[in-house]
């Protein structure tokens, strides 16, 4: 029967925790970068800022009250990741996929050499990925139940809470959330009232966190200005077509940094070289971001070819498997940077460290980067999966794919560097999308897990055609 199979899928997929736990034993307490140390210091001192999402830093603070070690945070991360992998596998089986395809995808995630080190890194991107998979799982449930999903308020509230977590764990997460909300409004446009519990849960969670919770923790509200993401784009135009800049534009550039900095520190592959130059006056941008925003918009309008070339260079790691010799793909750091917190690598198991270190060494070999680290192969496989589903009978299964599509555009447009962690949610959810090919090969298999409407499956894949209470989940084996 379906229920025992779905329960088995959850527990078998959640056992993907085991290879992640081997990494944890070997690389205790965690993979740490300067960003990680900044957030751990905030949690240690109780002085919270919103440069990194303060909600995530507060979560780190809460976990380390129970066990004052970064190892506690990394352990919670891999437990939560395995849990949501189990939830996604369960939803896939409930929808009608093969049990072993769903469980196998979860284990492929757990065993991937890029996943273990990243899941152990104390980065907001890991929490964001966990939230991303939770939203993905709820969208799979929505595909299965159609409009009947909204008739069950706890299900709608779960989706709203998952979207709120997605919003709160990355500053650009709200863009992906808004895109998903727009898709849901379009799909269910004939009856929007049942969506109210999800919308209320989303808004309430975001408002309560950014209002009362941040007030309780005295969070310094300063955050990166939207215009900061435009700095490399403006620099690209200035480097390649300086004649298009007016004297007023030049004066604005000089008020932020010397012109030599704009020219010499520009690198389309890495925005950090420009953003973190000591002579770059980021404070000026944050105090008044509008002039730079306007210049960025003018730059795109008058210099579209250079702007598009820059955007392609910045997003190419998402779509091109080959690793360019001149570009660096940022990955979790091997060593823990020097710090004032007394943190050093302290393996719990030397055997686990020796084994995973060899895996790490092989995975970082330049010959294997295209397959084991760069996300393009997985992203293209996921896109091919959803393309195969874009036909009558399976078209409604594209709904979870809208989440990947929205975030792919978000990452491509806002990435400042070639960083695997920025693509981490796409990488993991992309692998978990592959079992959906089960339906592309034979759409009739979807009948085992689809909503039944008057004795038939959803007409033309139109999820919105089912009214609350009209259909009920069916299926079995």
For residues 99 and 384, give the distance between their C-alpha atoms in angstroms, rounded to a whole number: 21
How far is 280 from 264, CA to CA, in rounded Å? 12
Token code pair at residue 461: 């894949």
3-class DSSP state of 403? helix
Q: What is the dihedral of CA 52, 57, 59, 61, to 10 degrees?
A: 180
| Burial of 298 per CB tally in 10 Å (0-12, 13-18, 19+) | middle
pLDDT value of residue 434: 98
Report H helices in 267-303. 272-275, 282-287, 290-302
Task: Quote the pLDDT of residue 459.
Answer: 32
**pLDDT < 50: residue spans in the chain:** 1, 447-477
Specify the pLDDT at position 2.
Answer: 63
Q: What is the pLDDT of residue 223?
A: 67
Exposure b/e, 219-251, CB count within 10 A at least 16 = b: beeebbbbbbbbbbbbbbbbbeeeeebeeebee
Bridge partners (DSSP) listed for residue 197: none
Q: What is the pLDDT of residue 284?
A: 82
Angle at 158 between CA 152 and CA 159, to 5 degrees: 95
The neighbour count for residue 432, using CB atoms within 10 Å, is: 28
- Answer yes or no: are the C-beta atoms of 186 and 145 closer than 8 Å: no
Q: Taking the domains of the chain in order of start, what are their residue ranges? A: 2-221+343-465, 226-318
Which single residue is written with the structure tokens 């960025």? 296
| pLDDT score for 460 | 35
Tokens representing 265 are: 């520190």
Report CA-CA distances (Å) from 301 to 239, 256, 262: 17, 22, 20
- pLDDT at res. 87: 98
pLDDT value, residue 282: 84
Whether the CB-CB separation of 416 and 271 falls below 8 Å is answered with: yes
At 103 the pLDDT is 98
User: Which of 391, 387, 411 minimizes the C-alpha distance to 401?
Assistant: 387
> Which uninterrupted H or E stretch holds 117?
helix 115-119
CA 130 to CA 108: how far, in whole Å? 16
């Amino acid at each position: 029967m379906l229920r025992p199979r779905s329960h088995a899928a959850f527990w078998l997929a959640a056992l993907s925790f085991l290879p992640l736990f081997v990494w944890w034993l070997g690389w205790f307490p965690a993979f740490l970068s300067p960003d990680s140390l900044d957030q751990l210091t905030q949690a240690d001192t109780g002085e919270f800022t919103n440069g990194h999402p303060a909600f995530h830093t507060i979560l780190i603070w809460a976990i380390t009250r129970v066990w004052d070690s970064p190892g506690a945070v990394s352990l919670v991360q891999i437990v939560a990741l395995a849990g949501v992998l189990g939830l996604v596998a369960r939803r896939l089986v409930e929808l009608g996929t093969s049990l072993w395809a769903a469980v196998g995808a979860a284990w492929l995630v757990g065993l991937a050499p890029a996943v273990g080190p990243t899941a152990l890194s104390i980065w907001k991107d890991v929490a964001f990925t966990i939230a991303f998979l939770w939203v993905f799982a709820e969208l799979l449930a929505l595909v299965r139940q159609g409009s009947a999903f909204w008739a069950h308020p706890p299900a709608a509230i779960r989706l709203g809470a998952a979207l709120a977590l997605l919003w709160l764990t990355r500053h650009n997460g709200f863009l992906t959330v808004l895109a998903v909300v727009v898709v849901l409004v379009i799909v269910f446009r004939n009856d929007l009232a049942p969506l109210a519990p999800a919308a209320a849960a989303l808004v309430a969670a975001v408002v309560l966190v950014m209002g009362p919770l941040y007030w309780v923790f005295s969070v310094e509200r300063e955050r990166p200005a939207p215009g900061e993401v435009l700095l490399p784009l403006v620099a690209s135009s200035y480097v390649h077509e300086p004649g298009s800049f007016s004297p007023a534009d030049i004066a604005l550039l000089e008020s932020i940094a010397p012109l030599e900095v704009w020219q010499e520190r520009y690198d389309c592959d890495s925005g950090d070289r420009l953003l973190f130059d000591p002579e770059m006056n980021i404070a000026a941008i944050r105090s008044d971001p509008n002039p730079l925003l306007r210049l960025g918009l003018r730059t795109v309008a008058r210099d579209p070819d250079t702007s598009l070339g820059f955007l392609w260079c910045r997003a190419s790691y998402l779509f091109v498997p080959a690793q360019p010799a001149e570009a660096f793909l940022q990955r979790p750091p091997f060593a823990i940077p020097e710090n004032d917190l007394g943190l050093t690598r302290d393996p719990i198991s030397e055997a686990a460290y020796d084994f995973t270190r060899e895996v790490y060494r092989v995975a970082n070999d330049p010959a294997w980067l295209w397959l084991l680290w760069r996300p393009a192969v997985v992203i293209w496989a996921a896109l091919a999966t959803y393309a195969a589903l874009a036909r009558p009978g399976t078209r409604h299964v594209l709904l979870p794919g809208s989440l990947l599509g929205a975030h792919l555009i978000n990452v491509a447009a806002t990435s400042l560097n070639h960083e695997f962690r920025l693509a981490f949610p796409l990488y993991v959810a992309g692998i978990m999308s592959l079992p959906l090919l089960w339906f592309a090969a034979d759409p009739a298999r979807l009948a085992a897990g689809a909503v039944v409407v008057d004795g038939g499956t959803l007409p033309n894949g139109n999820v919105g055609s089912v009214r609350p209470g009209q259909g009920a989940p069916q299926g079995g084996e």
